[in-house]
Amino acid sequence: MKFDSELMLKPVLIGGVIGGVLSAIPIISCLNCCCLLYAGSGAITAYLIAQKTMSLEMEDYALAGAGSGAIAGLINGILGLVIGTALNASLMPLIGMPSDMATQNMVGSMVGGVISIPVYIVLGAIFGAIGAIIYIKLKE
C-alpha cells in the first residue's frame, strides 16, 4: 500500500473539494448527519481513480478515500466556520438580540467551529475510506 501521487493526488483533491463544499452549504449539509457526503467524497475519488486504472489494491482505494474525506472535513470545517459567523452576524440584529449577547453567541460559535475542524477531518477520513471501499465493492 503506497500513495501514488501521480495517479491519486488529483482525484483526492477533486473528491475532497466536492465533498467539503457540499458539506458546508447549509441545506445540503443535512446529508452529512450520517457522514454521507464524506463517504460520497471517497466514492468520487475511487471512481476517478478507477477511470485511470483498476490495478490498485483495496487498501489503496481506502487510503485515497480517507485522504479525500479528510480534505472534505477540513474544507467543511473552515467554510462552516465562515458561513456560520456570517449568518450569526447578519441575523442577530434582525431578531433584536442585545449586542453583548450577540457577541458572546458569535464567539461561542467560532470556538465551536474551530474545535470541530479536527473532528470533521477524522470523520471525513473514516467515512471517505468507507465510501471508496463501497464503490469498489459495488464495481466488482
- Render pLDDT for 77-120 as a digit per residue (tens, 0 to 9): 889 888 888 887 787 778 877 777 777 877 887 788 788 888 88
Instruction: Extract the C-alpha cell encoding 111.
Output: 470556538
Owning domain of residue 135: 5-139
| pLDDT at site 14 | 95
The one-letter amino acid code at 63 reads L
| pLDDT at site 80 | 83
Q: What distance in Å separates the CA atoms of residue 134 and residue 88, rounded to the nearest whole number?
A: 38
| pLDDT at site 86 | 83
Domain total in the chain:
1
pLDDT confidence tier of residue 3, bands split at 50, 70 and 90: low
Residue linked to cell 483495496:
58
Mean pLDDT of the chain, nearest integer? 85
**For the CA atoms of 8, 11, 17, 22, what is the dihedral angle to 10 degrees?**
-130
Share of the chain above pLDDT 70, in %: 96
